[in-house]
Amino acid sequence: MRSSRHIKTQERGIILLLLVALLSVQVVIYLVSTRSNRSIVEDTLSNNLQTSSQVVEALLELRQRQLTQGAAVLAADYALKEAIAAGERATIESILANHGKRLDADIVLLNTLDRQLIASVPRELQQADITPLLKAAAQSSKPEAPPVSLLLSQSGVLYQLIHSVVSMPTPEAELTLGFAIDDELAQALKQVTDTDWVFLSRGQNGAWQLHGNTLNSSFERLLGNPAALVDGAEWTLQGEHDEYLMRSVALSNFNTQQASEVLLIAGKSLSRNMAAHEPIEALQRYLLLASLGLSALVVLLIGRQLLRPSNTPAHQDPLTELPNRRVFDHSVASALANKRTASFALMMIDLDHFRQLNDRFGHAAGDEVLRVSARRLRGLLRSIDMPARLGSDKFAALLPGLDRATAIRLGQRIEDELGEPIAFDGQALQVGISIGIAIAPEDGTTASELLGMADAEMHAEQTQRENTPV
């Protein structure tokens, strides 16, 4: 019984191991697949961000050229020249306001060639901003200057500046238009490129300032990773409800005034772009569960149909369904090695005259005697005892916790029960019973010593019975 439970336990262990292995492989495949999907999305977004950044830089330069053309049209306006000649500041401001509105300019300045302000829109433009604006405009007009001029004003606004000269017909005044780089520009760029944009500038004191932002992330979160705020850095930003892949680009080919650096940050939503893979990943999860269930069923079937038949010849006597000698020897050795086992009895049982009965009545009769004897022996033992068939007509029993006196009394019961006639094909078949008992550790400390002691006692009883006159 113990051996049978041991075999089943081993089978369950093998089944569990196979299930864990299959589950592990499938989970690893799923994780690799999801990670591969994310890697593909990240690579695609990285390329898109690089392209979008280049596109925006080109758009800013294109915007500069278009606005320059608009400023040239304003500088050539006949009404403006007349107002300048007449010194009519109100008329000049009205013309500047109208043309500035048409060009979407945020500020418009008109000054003399020696940088004396003639008029400004808005009229209440802070005086602290006028001087750096005029200085930046003068520098942007130089032939070697970069095509785009950016100014961080005293009020903290980042402007894209356009400069033009008013000739009457000789140069008489300078015209400067400023276009704020703010949320409105960032939003317009987002509509064109399907990318989120952030404009940052760093002042001479090293502090960053936010100018335009289409992300749902605070300025503090953007600055949470200073190492990412460098040219060419790619990084992830965890928003309140989304995750973004970001790329930082320091604007090149730009003339910056009062700002040590202008940084353009492009962002693409990882969550939104991963959404396309969610149906596939959901299907993979369902397939994983289905595969796990199917694998469990297959493994259970294998355990029942393959493992048990393959184990039966190795561990069980096919005729009596008792454990065989291999299992019995292993169990005796385990009992001896178990420090918690105080003592046990080992009993050898021989069916006397079995060969003669087998020869006289046939193998079918002998098989029936063996089956019935095994069944009777099993019925006399406890659930913790282990009976076994050792050979042709030999049985054995491992009896944990039994002393010699108790084992002798049990042996007498076994001798009486197994000695009862067995009905077969109208015949009453009967065999004699010889029993030998060894007690561990009194009679031996090894399996061979105990088996030898019990076998010797069994043969002694058998010899004594044969020599005793009837």
Strand order in the sheet with 344-352: 386-389, 394-400, 344-352, 432-440
Mean pLDDT across 320-348? 86
Backbone angles phi, psi at 240, to 5 degrees: -70, -35
> Does position 101 have pLDDT exceeding 50, yes or no?
yes
Output 41 or 92, whichever has higher pLDDT: 92
- What's the confidence (pLDDT) of residue 58? 87
Residue pLDDT, tens place only, 234-264 = 988 887 778 889 999 988 777 777 777 889 9
Residues 48 and 140 placed together within one structural domain of the fold: yes
Query: Residue 346 is encoded by which pair of tokens?
Result: 């080992």
Per-residue pLDDT band for 386 (boundaries 50, 70, 90) equals very high
| Domain annotation covers residue 408 | yes
3-state secondary structure of 163: strand
The least confident of 19-33, 174-188, 237-251, 432-446 is 19-33
Q: Domain end: 240, 275, 310, which one?
A: 275
What's the rounded mean pLDDT across residues 111-122?
86
**Which range is most confident: 60-74, 267-281, 369-383?**
369-383
DSSP 352-415: ETHHHHHHHH-HHHHHHHHHHHHHHHHHHS-TT-EEEE-SSSEEEEEEET--HHHHHHHHHHHH
Helix (H, G, I), strand (E, B) or coil at 217: coil
Q: Are 141 and 75 in contact (CB under 8 A)?
A: no
Q: Are residues 235 and 331 in the same domain?
A: no
Which are the contacts of 395, defined by CB distance < 8 A and separation ≥ 6? Answer: 322, 348, 349, 350, 351, 373, 374, 377, 387, 388, 389
> Mean pLDDT across the chain, nearest whole number?
83
338 within a domain of the structure (yes/no): yes
Please determine, for residue 433, whether its predicted confidence score (pLDDT) is greater than 50. yes
Task: Give the highest mean pLDDT range of 24-38, 290-304, 369-383.
Answer: 369-383
Average pLDDT over residues 161-171: 87
155 with 213, same domain?
A: yes
Mark whether 263 and 342 lie in a shared domain: no
Q: Is the dihedral of CA 151, 153, 157, 163 positive or negative?
A: negative
Q: Is residue 19 part of a domain?
A: no
In this structure, is residue 238 part of a structural domain?
yes
pLDDT of 309 > 50? The answer is no
Q: Please check the confidence at residue 399 and state whether its pLDDT lies above 90.
A: yes
User: What's the N-to-C CA distance of the chain in angstroms?
Assistant: 38
Range of the domain at 68: 41-275
Residue 6 lies in a domain: no
In this structure, are 266 and 364 located in the same domain?
A: no
Domain end point (choices 250, 275, 300): 275
* 20, part of any domain: no
Confidence band, pLDDT 50/70/90 cuts, at residue 138: low
What pTM does this model have?
A: 0.56
Looking at the predicted structure, is the pLDDT value of residue 295 above 80? no
Q: How far apart are alpha carbons 232 and 247 in whole angstroms?
A: 7
CATH of the domain at 103: 3.30.450.20
Q: Which of 60-74, 276-290, 347-361 has the lowest mean pLDDT?
A: 276-290
Residues 6+ away with beta carbon under 8 Å from 278:
none
Counting the structural domains of the chain, the total is 2
Last-in-domain residue among 234, 252, 275? 275
Residue 79 has pLDDT above 80, yes or no: yes
For residue 160, name the pLDDT band (cuts at 50, 70, 90): confident
Within a domain: 310? no
**Res 323: pLDDT:** 92
Q: What percent of the chain has pLDDT over 70?
A: 87
Distances (CA, A) of 250 to 202, 230, 283, 309, 439: 11, 7, 42, 73, 90
* Out of 11-20, 159-168, 198-207, 217-226, least confident range: 11-20
Show Cβ contacts of residue 403 under 8 Å, excluding neighbours closer than 6 positions.
Answer: 343, 345, 439
Instruction: Tell whether the model's pLDDT for residue 372 goes beyond 90.
Output: yes
Percent of the chain with pLDDT strictly greater than 90: 26
Residue 83 CB partners (closer than 8 Å, separation 6+): 91, 92, 95
Same structural domain, 240 and 345:
no
334 and 214 within one domain: no
**267 plus 340 within the same structural domain:** no
For residue 137, the model assigns a pLDDT of 66
In the chain, how many H helices and how many E strands?
Answer: 14, 17
Three-state secondary structure call for residue 19? helix
- Identify the residue whose tokens are 């299992």: 327
As a whole number of angstroms, the distance between CA 296 and CA 132 comes to 77
Shared domain for 270 and 401, answered yes or no, is no
What per-residue confidence (pLDDT) applies to 146? 63
Query: Are 367 and 429 part of one and the same domain?
Result: yes
Residue 3 has pLDDT above 60, yes or no: no
Answer whether residue 284 is part of any domain. Answer: no
Domain co-membership, 261 together with 392: no
**CATH number for the domain harbouring residue 411:** 3.30.70.270
- When pLDDT is averaged across residues 183-207 and rounded to a whole number, the result is 89
User: φ and ψ at 350, to 5 degrees?
Assistant: -120, 135
pLDDT of residue 406: 93
247 and 360 inside one domain: no
